[in-house]
Amino acid sequence: MKQFRKMVYPYLIWSTVMIAVPMLLILLYAFTVGGNSVSKFMFSFANFKRFLTDKTFLVVLYRSLRIAVETTVVCVLLGYPTAYIIAKFTEKVKMRWVLLITLPTWINMLVRTYAWTGILQDDGVINSILSFFGAGPITFMYTDFAVILGMVYNFLPFMVIQIYTSLTKMDYSLIEAACDLGANPRKCFTKVTLPLSMPGVISGITLVFLPSVSSFCIPRMLGGGSYVMVGTIIESQFLTAGDWNFGSAISLIMAIIIMISMYITKKVDKGEKLEGAQV
């Protein structure tokens, strides 16, 4: 037991230095005004009031939440059928498909996103193909479509892997029992497979929504400098404007939204488990 405790100490130290201390600093800056000098700090809710009363910032928050929700929905619609099909293959084929899906994540996100700028720009690959067939160039860059496409491309593997893992751990004898009792394939899927795979779907939604709502790299590269999301504002407040107090307040607001989202998904997951147990 003592040896186990000694092994925990390095992790506790690392967590304190890398997680607890930065979060305490964010709280300190968020609820104070007066610059970056500790001696000039004054307790205030002005930073939160500034964000919540400015229509421009609220529009940016709405846009960030909308883009994150749309990205998550697209990832579910694409990820579930993909994971479902992969789960039907033999073990050897499964591993090959999982490798192909996770392979892009081995490359840095900036590089992957930058590649899409060459594909989507006016003289890029897609428009070159369209011009070959006589179709006019279509503007893809600096639009919601480009941003959502970039996020789906980067975050879709997280959705697929979570759902695939849930499907492979499922007890297939329950499906056989449902078929023996006269359930058709559609009933088997809606009444057995889908409920049992919901924990993977919930986990995938969490892993996609959370980075999507706070992303700043993808919107900046594919949305352009004028395409602003919450992550972009936070970055500009810390690195450009030097207003750490306001940047910390926005970060704290986003942290609260993320925690609420995680709480809701956890409640939904528990509800699905209870419903499955009752069935």
Tens digits of residue pLDDT in 90-149: 888 999 999 999 888 888 888 888 889 888 888 888 888 888 777 777 888 888 899 999
Tokens 């529009």, residue located: 59
CA separation, residue 50 to residues 46, 65, 235, 247, 250 (Å): 6, 19, 17, 11, 10
User: How many C-beta atoms surround the C-beta of residue 228 within 10 A?
Assistant: 20
Return the SS3 of 108.
coil
pLDDT at 278 over 80: no
CA distances (Å), origin 219, targets 2, 159, 181, 238, 251: 49, 20, 51, 18, 17
pLDDT exceeds cutoff 90 at 157 = yes
Q: What is the pTM of this model?
A: 0.83
- Over range 29-35, report the average pLDDT: 80
Q: How far apart are CA 213 and CA 231, in angstroms?
A: 8
Q: In CATH, what number does 56-278 get?
A: 1.10.3720.10
What's the whole-number mean pLDDT along residues 145-160? 93
Q: Where are the beta strands (DSSP E) in the chain?
A: 32-33, 42-43
